[in-house]
Structure 1
Amino acid sequence: MTVKKPLLIAMSLVSAGVLANPAPVTEIGRSGRVASSTTAVATGSVEQRLAALERVVEARAEAQVRMQQQLQILLDEVSELRGVTENHSYQLDEIVQRQRDIYQEIERRVSAVQGSAGNSTASSAAAASGPAVTVSGNASENDAYERAVNLVLKDRRFDAAIPEFENFLRTYPNSVYAPNAHFWLGQLLFNNNDNAKAKTSFERVVTNFPDSNKVADALLKLGQIAERQNDKATALTHYRKVVSAHGSTTAARLAKERIDALK
Structure 2
Amino acid sequence: MKARFFMVLCACSTACAEPLPLPPVVDTSVYPAGTARPARSPAPSANTLYEIMGRLEQLQAEMQQLTGKVEEQAYQISELKKRQNTMYSDFDERLQVIESKNGTDQPVAGAPQEQVQPAETEAKEIKKQVTVPVPVAVPAPAPANKQAAPPAEPEAAQATESEKQAYQQAYDALRNGHTNQSITEFNALLVKYPAGQYANNAQYWLGEAYRVNQNIDSARSAFTKVVENYPGSAKVPDALLKLGYIEYDLKNWARAKEYLTRVTVEFPGSSAAHLASRKLLLIDDLKP
Q: Structure 2-normalised TM-score?
A: 0.50
Tell me the SS of whatever aligns to 2:111. Answer: helix
CA contact (8 A) 1:141 1:172 kept: no
- Give the drift of 1:91: 3.5
Which entry has the higher C-alpha Rg, 1 or 2? 1
Give the corresponding residue for 1:100: 111
**Does 2:243 match 1:222?**
yes
Tell me the SS of whatever aligns to 1:137. Answer: helix
Give the corresponding residue for 1:5: none
- Give the drift of 1:215: 0.3
Map residues 9-48 of structure 1 onto 2, 5 A cutoff: none
CA contact (8 A) 1:220 1:251 kept: yes
Change (3 A) 1:151 1:170: closer
Q: Which amino acid aligns with 1:194?
A: N
Map residues 1-263 of structure 1 onto 2, 5 A cutoff: 91-95=88-92, 96=94, 99-117=110-128, 137-153=156-172, 156=176, 157-263=178-284
- Give the drift of 1:230: 1.3
CA contact (8 A) 2:220 2:243 kept: yes
Change (3 A) 1:241 1:253: same
- Give the drift of 1:161: 1.2
Q: Structure 1-normalised TM-score?
A: 0.55
Q: Distance in 2 between matches of 1:223 and 1:256?
A: 11
Q: Which amino acid aligns with 1:116?
A: K
Change (3 A) 1:110 1:247: same
Q: Distance in 1 between matches of 2:274 and 2:247?
A: 18
CA contact (8 A) 1:149 1:161 kept: no
Q: Distance in 1 between matches of 2:83 and 2:218?
A: 24
CA contact (8 A) 2:179 2:213 kept: no
Sequence identity (%): 25
Q: Distance in 2 between matches of 1:115 and 1:260?
A: 43
- Give the drift of 1:207: 0.8
Change (3 A) 1:103 1:192: same
Q: Distance in 2 between matches of 1:116 and 1:98?
A: 24
Q: What is the number of equivalent residue pairs in this alignment?
A: 163
- Give the drift of 1:101: 4.2
- Give the drift of 1:247: 0.6
CA contact (8 A) 1:246 1:252 kept: yes
- Give the drift of 1:99: 4.6
Tell me the SS of whatever aligns to 2:200. Answer: helix
Q: Which runs of 4+ in 1 moved over 6 A?
A: 84-87
CA contact (8 A) 2:237 2:272 kept: yes
Q: Distance in 1 between matches of 2:115 and 2:158?
A: 21
Change (3 A) 1:90 1:182: closer
CA contact (8 A) 1:182 1:204 kept: yes
Which structure is higher in helix share?
1
Tell me the SS of whatever aligns to 1:226. Answer: helix
What do residues 161-208 of structure 1 show as CA deviations (whole Å, max 9, x unaligned)?
Answer: 110110111122222322111001011111111111011010001011
Q: Which amino acid aligns with 2:166?
A: R
Unaligned runs of 5+ residues in structure 2 are 1-80, 95-107, 130-154
